[in-house]
Each structure stands twice: as C-alpha cells, then as structure tokens.
Amino acid sequence: MADLTEQYGKFGISEKVYAFGEEILGSLQERFHGIDAVAEYNQLKVIRAMQECGVSEACLLGTTGYGYNDLGRDTLEKVYASFFHTEDALVRPQITCGTHALALALMSNLRPGDELLSPVGKPYDTLEEVIGIRPSKGSLREYGISYRQVDLLPDGSFDYDGIRAAINDKTRLVTIQRSKGYQTRPTLSVAQIGQLIRFVKEIRPDLICMVDNCYGEFVETIEPTDVGADMVVGSLIKNPGGGLAPIGGYIAGKKECVENAAYRLTSPGLGKEVGASLGILSSFYEGLFLAPNVTANALKGAIFAANIYEKLGYAVVPDGKQSRHDIIQAVTFGAPEGVIAFCQGIQAAAAVDSFVTPEPWDMPGYDSKVIMAAGAFVSGSSIELSADGPIAPPYAVYFQGGLTFPHAKLGILKTVQNLLDRQIISL
C-alpha cells in the first residue's frame, strides 16, 4: 500500500523505520491469531454474562441522590460477578482508581492486629503508602495492621519455604499482584497464581487470597477467581473499562469480602444499597463489552514493541516470544535519555495533546521522578496508549495500552524514529 508510507511520513516516520516495523510485524502474524482467539472467547464470555443477568436498555440509565434501587448498577455488579464466577461484586464510579479499590479491599477486610502478607515481593508503588511501608496518613499500619513480604526467588519463582515461614497466627490476608507493575520481574500467569493460592490454603484455609488484577483482565481465558482467589480487584480505566469508562474500580469475590468493602466504601449499615450511578453506566457496560477486543489490541502493541526493541538490542520483559499475562511491556534503556525519547514518541502519536512534550516530574505516590506519556481521551487512562518510567536505574520504560492496534503501531514507530533522530540507536 503505497499511501501508507506517505501517511506515516506525515508523522515524521521515515521509510527506513516503517520498513523495519513491517519486517518485525511480518513475523508476528501467528501470535496475533492466538490473541484474536482469546479475544473471541472472552467476547462470548462477556456477552453471555450480560445475557444471563438480563441487561436491558433501562440498565443503561442512571439514578441520582441516594441511588436506592439502581437497576443498572445492581445488574452491572451481577454481570461482573457472573464474568468472574464470584458470589458478588462491587463496581462503582465512587471507587476513584485502582489504588483506591485495592486500599478499600484491604482496609475493609483487615482488622487491627491482623497481618497482611505479600508472597510475591514488593507491591505496586502506590500500595506502599496504603500499607504503610512508606509512612503515610491513614495507612494500614496506623490502624495497627502489620505487613510482611516474601520476595520472589532470583529466577522469578515462589519462595515456598519463605512463605510457609512467614504465615503466622496474625496473618489474615494474602495479596498477590498479577502484573509486574514498575518492576522487571515476570508477570504471573493465572495458573501460577492458582498454584500459590493452593499452597497458601493448604497451610491456612481461612486466609483471604486477594489478587491485584490490574492490567491482567481478559489477557487469558480464565481469571484468578477461577483458580481459587477470594477477591480480584482492578481499575476501570485499565482493561475492563474498555477505554470508555471515565472512572471507577471493581472488587469481585466472596460475598463476605465484597460486603465488607461495600460497608467501608459507603457506610456501615448502608453498604451496596446507596451510591447513585448518575449517568455513567452506559460507558461501564459498553466498555466491558469492548474490553476483550481492546485488550487484544493492547497486547498486540506490547508484542510488537517487545520484538522491535529486542531486535534493537535492549532487554525487554516479557521477551519477544514469551507468553503474555498482562498488557505491560518493559524496555530497559539503561539511561534516562532512552526513557525520555520513548515517552516523548508515544506522546507525539496521540490524538489528544500530541503537541505536549512530557518531562520527568515528582508524581504523588511515587518515590522518584517519573515521566509519563499520556495523550488520552480519559485522563491518565492506561488502557489507552501510554508509557511511563521512573527516572531511576535501571531506566526502564513501561509501555501499555492502545485502544486500536494501528494507534499502538504508530506510537511504537514514533519512539523508534525519536531514538534514531537522537542518535541513541542506529538502523
């Protein structure tokens, strides 16, 4: 297609960079078919859940005020429970983000004197303040909830002996982060999470196993709740919002866990009964409907980036051939210039705010400067094409999202062009 190179040329992408991209893309068609098959499976799962729960046109409307008898809200929570195969779910615009959803799940299911255990190493940065690893107002620690952590072994596997030794009489809840977050450890597969939960439950069947499901939804055909998790928690401005949800978070799981969270989100005595959905529900429903396909596009973008940067000689996690368990792609540049050039390339490919040049800044919740590229329709949405990297060794950039593959492709080619123009790489 002669016109395509011309179109890319309008974005400053040279024929050389375009050809390099096409060569890589040619080798990925089989993998892309595999991703399409997972998307197809999950699309049917979502439609089936909506049909079983009797989603109707009336569900797309909203309530105001207290929001008693909000049909759309209550039905959507049934849809999430049906999709995740759980007893109940809490899906609300009043849950402001992923960190809030996780904090809510933890604070409502732990009591003073309890201990929280992470058997998969350091949690996501913002959780450090929730837990009180870094002192913070209102942390679990301030409420007398202690924390223990068992790191993964150097090869990325679970330290079963260490986990057994860490579980004690105070342990109440085990938090398992599916995605790597801002780390270069591998992301856990749902099957691996299942093995870990089985191990933990053999020691203490009463322990609550919670999975931070951020970025993992729809990547596989099963979810952590299919392998024994008591709760899964995530953000609607990531995978399950399908790019359309403008806010929100979810907790799906055992009835008691969800109930605890609801009483904490609103108030003891009120729980799930209040919380007006305003006019937001159609975006939650339609976003969930689109989410399997959107996640597939983001995955294709991640795999394309992995193969491009592997070919250019950088360390990438996961590598170009590895199977995928989340939508994040880490590329380690080893120097700030690479991280900055990459993020500025992603920004330049955006439909919104393409003219903005991102720079490293002190972001709340993070302990080093971070650079973020996000030209998004929903501010900060990371299911949309985005990239971010802490300006600290090993100078890795974390790339994710892309509502459509052509957008992800444009962004990645733009990063390559940027690195080439700044003589960080040669082709």
Ligand X SMILES: *Cc1c(COP(=O)(O)O)cnc(C)c1O
Chain residues binding ligand X by CB under 6 A are 97-99, 102, 124, 126, 177, 179, 181, 212, 214-215, 235
| CA dist 238 → 52, 77, 427 (Å) | 25, 17, 34
* CA-based nearest residue to 382, from 220, 215, 249, 232: 215
Q: Quote the least distance from Cβ 426 to ligand X, whole Å.
A: 34
Q: How far apart, in whole angstroms, are the C-alpha atoms of residue 93 and residue 60?
A: 14
Q: What is the CA radius of gyration of the chain?
A: 21
The single-letter DSSP state of residue 361 is B
Which strand ranges, in their side-by-side order, compose the sheet holding 146-149? 88-92, 249-253, 231-235, 208-212, 171-177, 115-118, 146-149
Longest Cα–Cα distance of the chain, Å, equals: 68
Cβ proximity to ligand X: between 18 and 80 the closer is 80
Cβ proximity to ligand X: between 124 and 314 the closer is 124
Q: Quote the least distance from Cβ 380 to ligand X, whole Å.
A: 7
Cβ proximity to ligand X: between 214 and 296 the closer is 214
Cβ proximity to ligand X: between 13 and 302 the closer is 302
Q: Quote the least distance from Cβ 58 to ligand X, whole Å.
A: 30
Q: Quote the least distance from Cβ 215 to ligand X, whole Å.
A: 5
Which residue type is seen at 34? G
Contact partners, residue 58, CB within 8 Å, separation at least 6: 71, 72
Cβ proximity to ligand X: between 21 and 253 the closer is 253
Q: Quote the least distance from Cβ 352 to ligand X, whole Å.
A: 19
Q: Quote the least distance from Cβ 326 to ligand X, whole Å.
A: 8
Residue 154 phi, psi dihedral angles, 5° rounding? -55, -30
Q: How far apart, in whole angstroms, are the C-alpha atoms of residue 280 and residue 63?
A: 10
Q: How far apart, in whole angstroms, are the C-alpha atoms of residue 24 and residue 305?
A: 10
Cβ proximity to ligand X: between 17 and 105 the closer is 105
H/E stretch holding 147 reads strand 146-149
Cβ proximity to ligand X: between 290 and 378 the closer is 378
The residue with tokens 């729980």 is 271
Q: Quote the least distance from Cβ 383 to ligand X, whole Å.
A: 10
